Amino acid sequence: MVDQHLVILLVKLAIAASVASFLVRFEAFKRLLLREERTIYQRLQLTLAFTIAFGGCVGTRVITGTYKATDLGLEASFLAGLVGGYVPGLLGGVLISLPAMFNGELLTMPLFAAVGVLAGMLRDAAPELEEIWRVSPFLEMNLIRAIRKWSGNRRLVFHLILIGALMSLEPLRFAMSRIHEGGVFVLYPDGAGFWHYVAVWFSTMFAVLLPLKIWANARTERLVEIQATLLQEARLRALTSQINPHFLFNTLNSISSLIRTNPDGARQVIVKLSTILRRLMKKTENTITLREELNFIEDYIAIEMVRFGSKLRFIKEVDGSVLDLRVPSMILQPIVENSLKHGLADKIDGGTIRLRAWEAEGKLHLEIEDDGVGIPEPRLNRIFEQGIGVSNVNERLQVLFGDEYRMWIDSKPGEGTRTGIEVPSHASSLAAVS
C-alpha cells in the first residue's frame, strides 16, 4: 500500500510538470506569462487556459474514479491566483472545481476559490512581481537568494510568507475533509500514518513549484529572445544612422563648393537633396524594394553629376525580374559614394560606375564596378576594418542575414574596383526585419 501510494504521488508530480510544459508550448499562453499587468480580457484568457488544462485533470479523476494522481485542482487554483491575480484565482478556482462539485464534493468550490484569492493576495503583496518567478522548488535556495539580495527585509519576508502559504495548502485541504467527510478529495490511503501525510504535503507543494519553475524558465528564455531582437534592431538603427549623416555631410560639401561658382547647380543639388531627404524620412523600415533603392541611387548620382559634369557616367544593368525583391535600405549608396570619392575623384578624365543586379540560385547578386584608380593591396586587406562606409554595410548585412550573405571587394590599382553583395532573394529572409 505504501509503495503504491508513493507511486501515485510521483505520477502526480509528473502530470503537473507535463501539463505545465504542454501549456507553455502555446505562444498565446507564453505571451500571457510575460505580462505583469493584464487587461480583464487577458485575465479571462489565462483563466480559460487553467480551466481547460487543470479542470480536465479533475474531470479525469472524477470520471474514471481510478486516476487519482490527475487531480491537481487545489494546486492549479493557487497557481492561477499567483500568476494571474484575483480574477483568475477566484474564477479559475470556481471553474476548476465544477467536476468535483458534480461528483458531490461540495466543499471543493469554496476551498479552491479561497486558495485562488489567497494566492492573488500574495501576488499583490510581492515587493516586485518578478519575485514570484524566483521561487525555487528547493526551499533553502529561496532563503539563500533572498538573503544575498537583501534590501530591507521585504523580499525575505515575502519568500517566507509564500513558502508558508504553500506549506498550508495540504493542511487546509485536510481540515476541510474533516469538516465534511467526502466534501473534498484527498489522497490519503486507508490507515495512513504520519509519513503518508508528510509525503502528500510535499507532493502538493512541489506540484505548485514545478509548473512555476517551468513557466519561469520559459518566460526567461522568451525575455532573452526579445532582448536580443531589440538589441539587434538598436544596433541596426545605429549603423543606419552612421551612414545617412556621412552621405549628408558630403552632399552639403558639394553644395558649399557650388554656391559661388555655379548657383544654378547648387539649386539643382538642393532640390535633389530635398527629394532624397523626404524619401528617407518616409522610410521607417529596414528594407525596401530594389526598385526604390535604385531610384535613390539615381537621385544621388544626379547630385554628383552636377559636380562632376560629363566626366561621370552611370550605367545600370539590372534584370527586371529582381526589381521587386527587398534589400536593406541605403545599402548601395555608401559603395557608390566610395567609387566616386576614392575611385574617380582623382581621375582627370572622370570615369564610369556600372551597377549590375541579377538573381541566381536563390541569391540576389549586386555588383558595383568603377574604372577608377583602384585600391592599394595593403589597404584592400583592411578595407572591412578601416573603411567606414564599407564596414557599416558589411556589419548591417551580418546583422540582417547572419551567415547567409557574402560581400567581397576586388580591386587592381590603376584599373578600378568591383564590389559584390550576395543576399538571399526569398522574401522570408527579410520578413523579420522589415
Whole-number Å distance between alpha carbons of 98 and 337: 72
Q: Of the candidates 315, 332, 347, which has an alpha carbon nearest to the alpha carbon of residue 416?
A: 347
Range of the domain at 324: 262-431
* Domain match, 347 and 411 both: yes
Q: Is the pLDDT of residue 431 over 70?
A: no
* Domain match, 223 and 266 both: no
Whole-number Å distance between alpha carbons of 227 and 269: 42
* Domain match, 269 and 383 both: yes
pTM: predicted TM-score of the whole model, two decimal places? 0.60
What is the CATH number for 391? 3.30.565.10
Residue 138 has what pLDDT?
59
Q: Do the domain assignments include residue 332?
A: yes
% of the chain beyond a pLDDT of 90: 33
* Domain match, 209 and 281 both: no
Residue 368 has what pLDDT?
94
Q: Do the domain assignments include residue 78?
A: yes
Q: Do the domain assignments include residue 254?
A: no
- φ/ψ (deg, to 5) at 339: -60, -40
* Domain match, 178 and 293 both: no
* Domain match, 19 and 150 both: yes
Whole-number Å distance between alpha carbons of 378 and 411: 11
Each residue's pLDDT tens digit, 12-46: 999 999 999 999 999 888 888 888 788 889 899 99
* Domain match, 176 and 319 both: no
- Please give the grid coordinates belonging to residue 118: 489567497
- Can you tell me which residue has the cell 480559460? 48
Helix (H) or strand (E) holding 250: helix 194-261
Q: What is the DSSP letter of 183?
A: S
SS3 417: strand
* Domain match, 221 and 290 both: no
Number of domains in the chain: 2
Residue 85: which residues within 8 A CB-CB, separation 6 or more? 38, 43, 120, 123, 124
* Domain match, 117 and 17 both: yes
Whole-number Å distance between alpha carbons of 367 and 346: 22
* Domain match, 274 and 213 both: no
Q: Do the domain assignments include residue 272?
A: yes
Higher pLDDT residue, 157 or 106?
Answer: 106
58 burial level (CB within 10 Å; 0-12, 13-18, 19+):
buried
Q: Do the domain assignments include residue 235?
A: no
Last residue of a domain, one of 206, 227, 248: 227
* Domain match, 211 and 318 both: no
Each residue's pLDDT tens digit, 163-221: 889 989 999 998 898 888 888 998 876 666 777 788 888 899 999 999 999 998 888 88
Last residue of a domain, one of 171, 204, 227: 227
Q: What is the DSSP string of 16-52?
A: HHHHHHHHTTSHHHHHHHH-SS--HHHHHHHHHHHII
For residue 5, name the pLDDT band (cuts at 50, 70, 90): confident
Q: Is the pLDDT of residue 296 over 80?
A: yes
For residue 427, name the pLDDT band (cuts at 50, 70, 90): very low
Higher pLDDT residue, 306 or 335?
Answer: 335
Within the chain, what is the greatest distance between any pair of CA atoms? 107
Residue 12: which residues within 8 A CB-CB, separation 6 or more? 69, 70, 71, 72, 187, 203, 207
Q: Do the domain assignments include residue 245?
A: no
Q: Do the domain assignments include residue 240?
A: no
Residue 432 has what pLDDT?
41
Last residue of a domain, one of 170, 203, 227: 227
Q: Do the domain assignments include residue 238?
A: no
* Domain match, 373 and 267 both: yes
SS3 192: coil
